[in-house]
Structure 1
């Protein structure tokens, strides 16, 4: 083993929609071992567009990944374990802790229709005003409508409803809890009190007692049980620390503050800030792709704005550059966009292509494909400007800089367009594992290696490079 793998470390179990991973992070903030396996949902045999997560399969994959990591990092070096995963998904358990219904995936279409008639249960504007969470079909509230109409016995007889990350920590420790950052994605809560809203729960006929104790990141869930420890190759009694929703830990790990929001740029761009207070002006804001979730710190908030992004560029690559040979399609596409005039020969593109609202206007015979790509990039930059303006209003701040993470950061021309439009520096993190690092900061704190997650983040100090606005 090298010096890094002899350091004290924590193990982050990262359950993503595409991959599940186990990653060891040293006390100095270095990723020292990792293992991953592909993840997938399972179709309902009676409804091919309905999707479940198999909790048993997820656990098997995470445990195998953990065993691979322990081949590199000695188990007695692992000072804590934590879990991070996608939001909103969870399921019902009986009193013994046994799952009594599969985990409905956020990818499942069964909740689209219930969202469309939410007003049968409660005024949708009232839900948004109370919860602060935007209208997405995968919200837990929509799943509860579906359960009320299709499996009311579960709502009436189940002992617990737990979100995915806490299903894992329950398996590891035997303790019933729910991670706060997961609870805050559900649209079942009051953002002002950071607790469940009985008014919203009453709409679907459930009691707050259905949900176990809510705990915030960094709290010790409990000691690792021997059976789970043996499955992962770890030491029984190792502390299991609360984490939760991957987005919250990504923005914390990237260094988000009100003055320095974080943009995760990939297939989607998700812009979020960390604010000690927020003020949601009217329900009209929820007609935009706005949402607000709970921060990793109690009493703080993460206003956010999201839109489809790199997928738009990929569409142009498929439809207009399919004849480019070799692996340099994107190089050719971006070079031609850079060579196009700034006004794109007058072309304006609204790249809201996910649900068929995308538009292209002012076409002329002078327009070439490079101008179209540049116009699409300009349109995406406008989305970013709109989103940042909304976040600044809700969080009562003025951004002095922006941090970027994700695959979109590799497109330097696009990054420069963003800096120019916003008029502020953009810090691009060179470390891709911001979710895992963010979760590890809380695990290290829970294990007593740092006084606070902020102290851990300062110690990690991930490197970045800066793109300044062009004058």
Structure 2
């Protein structure tokens, strides 16, 4: 009889959807991915949505590839993880009453800007802990209240996007705590929706149903889903949820050990026993979410990371692509001295819908080279990391001894060294690259009874940590960092 030692994780990202088979030791047995993109909302010109049927067909196709390469008798269970905040209203058959509005849609910007029409921002932030981004779920709820009240009136449930896909797998209507924690409508301490916030925006708590914990079983794979995915019928389906929380857990982070998930977005978060949604935290754009484990909070900041560098490469290195592109950019930047000859970059090249005025490049001259500008971009993002780290340390009352760095951005050796130098702490790299899927798989194995505890599941993983220590340039960067802060604050 086969040991049930494989977890199947459906991982839906903004640019790719993937299905990965992970064994108990964190080894990928099989994987398949397909590109993902938003579509225009047929009901709202210029709006952006996720086509749920298209997502499902891609994930089902990826699953068929994966299940064709493994022994399906070894599958312990399956789960789904995705980006936060997005979801949709469904009827009692699981049919959408309106498409899934994407976090990339701009229709909610004016709602967040005028949120005090419903509830004072200070009270909303204090109650939820979530920073007031325009894409937060609360703004979509208000949009429906103001523009499509019929959808609210006819809805059986609001399901966050992982739960929409879990419904496709099993027919279950169940949300999880980690997605709830991204909505700006929750009470993080009780891990339930906030009655105060829901009352303020005129939404009934019953729409969200009972909130489940990651690793709890939502149902079993239906016959129809089995035929579409290749997974065995009646495979246990477990709750997971927001990809960030599972990436943090999968990284092996201890309490108060910051984790930098470095991709299109840089997400810096630390697992903490406490959080304070104070005026300081709001000013510093700190957001708090529900950790994958009950009783723990993830306090953090996020900003555009590799997305900024991708913009730079398109403008300045358009003749290169792939590995050649990054090799040339890094080689050019390595030839430059710290400080990039006076060029300073504020990398806030994103309008977050709440006061961001975009990025800035200062210090260009007629002799400036693109290598200098690229180095300035890497340094600017390293300064932004230190700024975020200092804010988290203050908000969480801890002092970081190292930063775990995961994601695509952790492959850039020069950037890693600059981060360590600027932040004055070691950067810890790990062998495990797919920490979101790894973390989610641990909850599957725990839920299936393969491990007695999450700690036991984590102890099976060989992270093989490698430290990037700060170099002798640490003090050199102190003055440059102060100049960056002045640029950010508008004093120069």
**What is the distance in 1 between the residues matched to 2:98 and 2:317?**
46
Task: Judge which range, 387-396 or 218-227, deviates more.
Answer: 218-227
**Does the C-alpha gap of structure 1 residues 323 and 62 become closer, same or farther in structure 2, counting only changes over 3 Å?**
closer
Q: Contact conserved, 1:6 with 1:73, CA < 8 A, in 2?
A: no
Q: 1:194 aligns with which of 168, 191, 194?
A: 191
**What is the distance in 1 between the residues matched to 2:322 and 2:302?**
33
State the secondary structure of the residue aligned to 2:47: strand
TM-score normalised by L of structure 2? 0.89
Query: In the TM superposition, what whole-angstrom CA distance separates every residue of 1:126-165 from its partner, at most 9, and x where no partner exists?
Result: 2111101112121110001100111112223322111111
* Alignment-derived partner of residue 72 in structure 2: 75
Q: Contact conserved, 1:258 with 1:398, CA < 8 A, in 2?
A: no
Is residue 299 of structure 1 aligned with residue 299 of structure 2? Answer: no
* Alignment-derived partner of residue 341 in structure 2: 345
Q: Contact conserved, 1:257 with 1:275, CA < 8 A, in 2?
A: no
**What is the distance in 2 between the residues matched to 1:247 and 1:467?**
23
Shift of 1:48: 4.2
* Alignment-derived partner of residue 393 in structure 2: 392
Shift of 1:324: 6.4
Unpaired runs of at least 5, structure 2: 352-356, 473-492
* Two-structure CA RMSD over aligned residues (Å): 2.2
Q: Contact conserved, 1:263 with 1:271, CA < 8 A, in 2?
A: yes
Shift of 1:434: 1.0
Q: 2:325 aligns with which of 307, 326, 329?
A: 329
Shift of 1:367: 4.3
State the secondary structure of the residue aligned to 1:264: strand
Query: In the TM superposition, what whole-angstrom CA distance separates every residue of 1:31-60 from its partner, at most 9, and x where no partner exists?
Result: 101122222222123544212222222222
**What is the distance in 1 between the residues matched to 2:444 and 2:320?**
47
Q: Contact conserved, 1:159 with 1:210, CA < 8 A, in 2?
A: yes
Is residue 319 of structure 1 aligned with residue 315 of structure 2? Answer: yes
Shift of 1:377: 2.0
Number of matched pairs: 466
State the secondary structure of the residue aligned to 1:303: strand
Query: In the TM superposition, what whole-angstrom CA distance separates every residue of 1:277-334 from its partner, at most 9, and x where no partner exists?
Result: 112332x433444211100001211111111222333333333334569963332332
Query: In the TM superposition, what whole-angstrom CA distance separates every residue of 1:334-359 from its partner, at most 9, and x where no partner exists?
Result: 22322222233333222222245322
Equivalent positions of 1:354-433 (< 5 A) are 354-355=350-351, 356-364=357-365, 367-433=368-434
Query: In the TM superposition, what whole-angstrom CA distance separates every residue of 1:73-114 from its partner, at most 9, and x where no partner exists?
Result: 122111111111111111112234332222111122221222
**What is the distance in 2 between the residues matched to 1:256 and 1:47?**
42
Is residue 134 of structure 1 aligned with residue 131 of structure 2? Answer: yes
Q: Contact conserved, 2:281 with 2:395, CA < 8 A, in 1?
A: no
Equivalent positions of 1:93-132 (< 5 A) are 93-132=90-129
**What is the distance in 1 between the residues matched to 2:26 and 2:307?**
32
Is residue 177 of structure 1 aligned with residue 174 of structure 2? Answer: yes
Task: Judge which range, 185-194 or 165-174, deviates more.
Answer: 165-174
State the secondary structure of the residue aligned to 1:128: helix
State the secondary structure of the residue aligned to 1:109: coil
TM-score normalised by L of structure 1? 0.93
Q: Contact conserved, 1:156 with 1:206, CA < 8 A, in 2?
A: no
Q: Contact conserved, 2:128 with 2:186, CA < 8 A, in 1?
A: yes
